[in-house]
Amino acid sequence: MGYSQYKMVVFRATCPQTTHCITMSSSLVRIANSTFSRASSGQVFFPNLSFSIPSLQSSTKCVERWGVLGPSSSGKSTFLQILQGSLICTPPAGRTYPAITNQRKYPSSSIALVDFSAKGSFGENVMGEYESRRGSKDLTLRQWLERTALHLPLYTDNFDFESHLATRAADVPLETVTTGLRLTKLLEQPVSTLSNGQGRRARIAQALLKGVELLLLDEPFMGLDPWSTDQLSDLLEKISSPRTGDISKISSQVVISLRPQDYLPDWITHIAYMEDSQIVAMGNKDETMSSLKLKKTSSSPAVGILQQVYKSDLESQDMPRAAETTQTKNESKEVLVEMMDIKISYKDREILKDFSWTIKRGDRWGLFGPNGSGKTTILAIITSDHPFSYSQPVKLFGRHRLPSPGIRGISVFELQSLIGHSSPEIHQFFPRRLSLRQCVESAWAETFITKPHFSSNAKELVDDIFAYFEISAEDQLTSFSDCGLSTQRLALFMRAIVKRPDIVILDEAFSGMDSKLRDKCMHYLENSLEERQALIVVSHLDEEIPRVVDKWVRLREAGEEEKAIFGKRE
């Protein structure tokens, strides 16, 4: 069976149901035999595309909830941008918004695209102006939602926010949205203290406050622990359910993009699978997945090290003793990081209490725990990206951050020269204009954009790692912005390990990578990591945890009284 025949078989299997429930005028988005590009003479995306999404209120008898699936560079994000109204459509009348224009609304104000794939989540780092000023003026979640919903400036010394908020209102009441998304209790909390899962709900709330008809979410489950994934999935199912008489209920059609290996919610009814900016197959979820031989992925931890990490508390009660054995073994090894009774809290919210952790040369650690349990904060203390690295009882490479009589402190630049680090935060703020080679070479620089201070063997190390990952000299000149998410993650992974630092920190470093590329990174770690190097890995997926990880620490939910649990891979 040829490619075009195969595609038509899948489509015909679902068209009868669709046409029963949807009329042309009830489509939120209707695309008829159109082709798209970013410029009039630029690359073409999704040639001869035909696709439609029904209005939620017009499809109460057979609700369609779409998932857009495909590898990282398949064009999922571009497809969502096309639905949003971005990219040039040829012919111009090929893309219409009947249900929106019938209500005398504009697509730009009725459709929201929230991108989690490459920009990082709100809870980890708020983008743009907020991140650069959060140390001096930390907005509460209420302030952030109110101001962004009404397009008011986040920060200014001469702006009367109270007057504007008193005379204007969001399209949907704040209390309605925050109650539905379980954010009400967090409204007075600084946004910088929100967990990953809380932050994603906040960004969704920001979109819903504008009363959108269509909510497009680009990889919303990336980097979430299984429990946060389930919670967010349940909320999206409720949001994408038609109103049943309660006019205050939040209701919006939802479309999500996912990788084939990601968790696919049960409430998704239809999928569009794409490769190379073309839809390979689309239609009913079960029939299409069966035709493509795709397997559904659970959000629960798979069998592996995470199965051991997340055992019940009863099974884990003896593990702290195992930690003592783990931490005291091989006393001759140099201690690289020593934390003693760390206490971390934001205002009245306690994150960590009496946390102690020792990392020695050659250690291979996994750092696990729910979103918001303090993982990112602990890593920020180690890398000296957090003020707590000065105030907490922490020794890094045998020294405190601040000097003491007769002992000099360790500077941030010295630390950065000894640590390789890849994380969603670095990805979010990494300069997109740099080439892939400049990205990797910046491992020898004090900042992303300053001139690197190369060691004598730096060129050889850079050439070797590009050769291992089979990236040609020509492709090394490609700008970071022109690469897909998977390649961008790879470049930052290479940057973290290329100069063979004393500590390698991989915080969700493989999230968003295609499976083959991720497996090659795993193979590199297993064969190239030197015995003197320590490794710290953070992930919520077993397949993203290298087999060399043999020790782990599991943090508790923020606010829980129980201490962190330590263990060893069985």
Q: Domain-by-domain residue ranges, the chain?
A: 3-292, 305-568
C-alpha to C-alpha distance for 218 and 357, rounded to whole angstroms = 36
Q: 12 pLDDT band (50/70/90 cuts)? A: very low
Task: For the chain, give the mean pLDDT.
Answer: 80
Task: Answer with the residue of higher pLDDT: 301 or 422.
Answer: 422
pLDDT, residue 157, reads 57
Categorize the per-residue pLDDT at 449 as very low, low, confident or very high, splitting at 50, 70 and 90.
confident
Contact 491, 440 (CB under 8 A): yes
With tokens 């990490």, the residue in question is 309
With beta carbons less than 8 A apart as the criterion, state whether 223 and 428 touch.
no
**Helix residue spans in 209-304 (DSSP H):** 226-239, 285-292
User: 103 pLDDT band (50/70/90 cuts)?
Assistant: confident
- Return the minimum-mean-pLDDT range out of 9-23, 348-362, 454-468: 9-23
| pLDDT above 70 for 91 | yes
What's the pLDDT tens digit per position in 129-160? Answer: 333 333 435 788 988 888 877 777 776 656 66
Residue 389's alpha-carbon distances to 223, 375, 378, 393, in angstroms, are 25, 14, 9, 8
For 217-249, what is each residue's pLDDT tens digit?
998 888 777 777 888 888 888 888 876 544 446
Query: Per residue in 368-392, pLDDT tens?
Result: 988 778 888 899 889 988 777 777 8
In the chain, the percentage of residues whose pLDDT exceeds 90 is: 37
Could you identify the residue written with the tokens 């994934």? 229
Q: Which amino acid is at 261?
A: Q
pLDDT of residue 462: 97
Cα separations (Å) of 353 from 12, 339, 358?
A: 58, 12, 16
- Which residues, listed in sequence order, are joined to residue 337 by a DSSP beta bridge? 359, 396
Q: Highest mean pLDDT: which of 245-259, 318-332, 508-522?
A: 508-522
Architecture of domain 3-292: 3-Layer(aba) Sandwich (3.40)
Q: Which of 327, 314, 376, 368 is nearest to 351 (CA)?
A: 376
- From the options 3.90.1150.10, 3.40.30.10, 3.60.110.10, 3.40.50.300, give the CATH code of 305-568: 3.40.50.300
pLDDT over threshold 70, residue 118: no
Q: List CB contacts of 1: < 8 A, sequence separation 6 or more.
A: 9
211's CB contacts (< 8 A; 6+ apart) are 110, 170, 171, 172
pLDDT at residue number 33? 95
> Does 268 or 61 have the greater pLDDT score?
268
pLDDT for position 22: 46
Q: What is the pLDDT of residues 518-559, one digit of tens each?
A: 999 999 999 999 999 999 999 988 889 999 999 999 988 765
364: nearest Cα among 546, 551, 194, 98:
551
pLDDT: which is higher, 168 or 216: 216
Do 3-292 and 305-568 fold alike per CATH? yes
Phi, psi (5° rounding) for residue 38? -85, -20
Q: What is the pLDDT of residues 158-191, one digit of tens each?
A: 666 566 555 555 567 788 788 877 788 888 888 8
Give the pLDDT band of residue 215 (cuts 50, 70, 90): very high
Range list of H helices, 76-225:
76-84, 98-101, 107-110, 129-133, 141-149, 161-167, 174-180, 196-208
- CA dihedral over 278, 281, 282, 285, signed as positive or negative: negative
**What's the average model confidence in pLDDT over 339-345?**
86
* pLDDT of residue 516 exceeding 70: yes
C-alpha angle 448-451-453 in degrees, rounded to nearest 5: 105
Give residue 269's pLDDT band: very low, low, confident or very high (50, 70, 90): very high
Q: What is the pLDDT of residue 72?
A: 78
Query: Alpha-carbon dihedral of residues 273, 278, 281, 283, nearest 10 degrees?
Result: 70
Terminal Cα-to-Cα distance of the chain (whole angstroms): 48
Q: What is the mean pLDDT of residues 296-310?
A: 70
Burial of 423: CB neighbours in 10 Å, binned 0-12, 13-18, 19+: buried
- What is the chain's Cα-based Rg? 25
